[in-house]
Amino acid sequence: MISDSFPIAAIATAPGRGGIGVVRISGKGLMPIARAVCRLDGRDLKPRHASYLDFVNADGSVIDRGLALYFSAPNSYTGEEVLELQGHGGPVVMQMLLNRCLEAGREIGLRLANPGEFTFRAFQNDKLDLAQAEAVSDLIEASTEAAAKLATQSLSGAFSQTIGTLVEQVIHLRMLVEATLDFPEEEIEFLEKSNARGQLQAIRDSLEKVLQQAGQGALLREGLKVVLAGLPNVGKSSLLNALAGSDVAIVTAIAGTTRDKITETIHVEGIPIHVIDTAGIREDAEASDEVERIGISRTWAAVEQADVVLHILDASRGPTRADEDIVARLPARVPLIRIWNKIDLSGHKPGIELLADSTEIYLSAAERIGMDLLRQELLRIAGWQQTGESLYLARERHLLALRAAQDHLALAAQLAEQRDSALDLFAEELRLAQEQLNSITGAFTSDDLLGVIFSRFCIGK
């Protein structure tokens, strides 16, 4: 994101009607705007004090009456001066107030803020690191209590601190190695003497644990995409309705009822599960019309994107050739659950069987029998474990960086087996691992290592 140094303004509250609406301005030299827009009667706004006053147009006519809050730099969200005008939360009055601010701030270059620009400035001004800045939007977007709680923890810096501790451990090891590289005559048996291998192993263990906690948190954030696929009339839409607990999709005895994809997000133990109902799969020739054929091609597209596929079969009929054709076309990398539906007709008992390459579950969607078996199996496939450990609401970006760091440390461990001859390569892998970890919090890499080295050593030692 590029941000210039001009002051920025935006309506900070959600669009629509509400009790209160807030126009927020951040930048340098905001007092003239405050004087122009707020009827101050010769006073100035006192930092961190709420003043109840009129918001006025250039001609003195009143736009609204509300609270003005002023924060001086750097004691604000963005680290710049911030002016917040709280008026009545109507879209029109808010737009009028914003326009008035833009007009009053034209001379100092006040412009509309880009999405996320207030938080970006907070990051630029070291109010937040990158992971914390991301947590701000995660908190706003959280769809479950669990996700909101984890976002708050990340925002307070818990995740950043964990990453910071890992980085410090890596830096410590790098310091040892690089000192040795600078004094080659002492290189002999460095790896033995310094217990570098032991230290490296300890870092790898910690990283493994963080990755596990982050992976679980990522599940809470992203959820699991589950696609229901099968022949027409086997009960896919009934299963969606049973999972959702309401009649989301149309269910009829007519084959080919569902045409378009229907997605419904349910929550199982706080994990969002996006259940996607699709058109029943049958041969082109059997499909009733063009609409259904398009629906079927969408089914296959959805299957390609799935985290888990539920292949639904009619337990009262048994498997058919067409079912085998479907299985043959399913991507091998996607976990498969075979659902034998309609056990109320077939007389099977509800149950679950774990096979080598898939799971079989016997249930009845219409009668809502055996549904919990399915919910628990979805959690198991997602890798959800209730450990009671703290989790991190990680993003894909964080997981990628953690895994890349893990790979570099694994390479370093291999190099450490080759005695001291590969010490420079060992050091390089550590550096790369650190770079990956640093990318999570956005900390600058190369020079800070020197800083740490010199701040911890005194000359002459």
Ligand X SMILES: Nc1nc2c(ncn2[C@@H]2O[C@H](COP(=O)(O)OP(=O)(O)OP(=O)(O)O)[C@@H](O)[C@H]2O)c(=O)[nH]1
Residues forming the site for ligand X (CB under 6 A) = 232-238, 251-253, 255-258, 279-280, 341-342, 344-345, 364-367
Q: Does 263 bind Mg ion (CB under 5 A)?
A: no
- Chosen residue from 258, 299, 341, 359 binding Mg ion by CB under 5 A: 258
Q: Which residue in 80, 86, 71, 66 sits closest to 11, CA to CA?
A: 86
Based on CB atoms, which residue is closest to ligand X, 311 or 342?
342
Q: Which residue in 90, 115, 85 sits closest to 100, CA to CA?
A: 85
Report in angstroms how near the CB of residue 227 gets to Mg ion at its nearest: 13
- Angle CA 268–274–275, to nearest 5: 95
DSSP state of 266: E
Q: Out of ligand X, Mg ion, none, which partner does residue 365 contact, by CB within 5 to 8 A per kind?
A: ligand X
Based on CB atoms, which residue is closest to ligand X, 14 or 254?
254
Report in angstroms how near the CB of residue 93 gets to ligand X at its nearest: 48
Based on CB atoms, which residue is closest to Mg ion, 260 or 283?
260
- Angle CA 393–239–219, to nearest 5: 10
Based on CB atoms, which residue is closest to Mg ion, 241 or 438?
241
Amino acid at 345: L
Q: Out of ligand X, Mg ion, none, which partner does residue 233 contact, by CB within 5 to 8 A per kind?
A: ligand X
Task: Output the CA torsion sign for 322, 340, 354, 244.
Answer: positive
Q: Does 257 bind Mg ion (CB under 5 A)?
A: yes
Q: Does 162 bind Mg ion (CB under 5 A)?
A: no
Q: Does 237 bind Mg ion (CB under 5 A)?
A: yes
Based on CB atoms, which residue is closest to ligand X, 187 or 367?
367
Based on CB atoms, which residue is closest to ligand X, 252 or 297?
252
Site for Mg ion in 287-306 (CB under 5 A): none
Report in angstroms how near the CB of residue 300 gets to ligand X at its nearest: 14
Q: Answer for the pair 448, 435: CB distance below 8 angstroms, yes or no.
A: no
Report in angstroms how near the CB of residue 299 gets to ligand X at its nearest: 9
- Alpha-carbon dihedral angle through residues 293, 297, 298, 304, given to the nearest 10 degrees: 160
Report in angstroms how near the CB of residue 250 gets to Mg ion at its nearest: 7
Based on CB atoms, which residue is closest to ligand X, 178 or 367?
367
DSSP state of 61: -
Q: Which stretch binds Mg ion (CB under 5 A): 139-147, 257-265, 324-332, 451-459?
A: 257-265
- The rounded Cα 416 to chain-centroid distance in angstroms is 35
The kind and range of the H/E element at 362 are strand 359-362
Q: Does 233 bind Mg ion (CB under 5 A)?
A: no
Residue 159 region by backbone torsions, left for phi larger than 0, else alpha for psi between -120 and 50, else beta: alpha
Report in angstroms how near the CB of residue 382 gets to ligand X at its nearest: 24
Alpha-carbon span 46 to 39, nearest angstrom: 14
Report in angstroms how near the CB of residue 229 gets to ligand X at its nearest: 9
Q: Out of ligand X, Mg ion, none, which partner does residue 238 contact, by CB within 5 to 8 A per kind?
A: ligand X
Instruction: State whether residue 273 is helix, strand or coil.
Output: strand
Report in angstroms how near the CB of residue 258 gets to Mg ion at its nearest: 3
Q: Out of Mg ion, ligand X, none, which partner does residue 164 contact, by CB within 5 to 8 A per kind?
A: none
Q: Answer for the pair 67, 112: CB distance below 8 angstroms, yes or no.
A: no
Based on CB atoms, which residue is closest to Mg ion, 68 or 374?
374
- For 214-263, give the DSSP string: HHHHHHHHH-EEEEEEESTTSSHHHHHHHHHTS--S---SSTT---S-EE
What residues line the site for Mg ion (CB under 5 A)?
236-237, 257-258
